[in-house]
Amino acid sequence: MAEAIYKRVLLKVSGEVLAGEADFGIQPDMIDLIAEQIKEMVSLGVETAVVIGGGNIFRGIAGSASGMERTSADYMGMLATVLNALALQNILEGKGVYTRVQSAIEMKELAERYIRRRAIRHLEKKRVVIFAAGTGNPYFSTDTAAVLRAMEINADVILKGTKVDGVYDKDPMKDASAKKFSELSYIDVIGKELNVMDYTAVTLCMDNNLPLIVFSIKEKENIRKILLGDKVGTLVRKPTS
- DSSP-assigned states of every residue in 132-145: ESTTSSTT--HHHH
180 within a domain of the structure (yes/no): yes
Considering the entire predicted model, what is its pTM? 0.94
d(CA 66, CA 63): 5
Average pLDDT of span 89-102: 98
142 within a domain of the structure (yes/no): yes
d(CA 30, CA 162): 12
Phi/psi region, residue 215 (left: phi>0; alpha: psi -120 to 50; beta: rest), is beta
219 within a domain of the structure (yes/no): yes
Number of structural domains found in the chain: 1
Average pLDDT of span 110-133: 98
Report pLDDT digits (tens) over 197-220.
999 999 999 999 999 999 999 999
Domain of 142 in residue numbering reads as 8-236
d(CA 42, CA 212): 20
63 within a domain of the structure (yes/no): yes
1 within a domain of the structure (yes/no): no
215 within a domain of the structure (yes/no): yes
176 within a domain of the structure (yes/no): yes
Residue 192 sits in a domain whose CATH number is 3.40.1160.10
Q: Is the dihedral of CA 224, 2, 241, 238 positive or negative?
A: positive
Query: pLDDT-derived band of residue 60, with 50, 70 and 90 as boundaries?
Result: very low
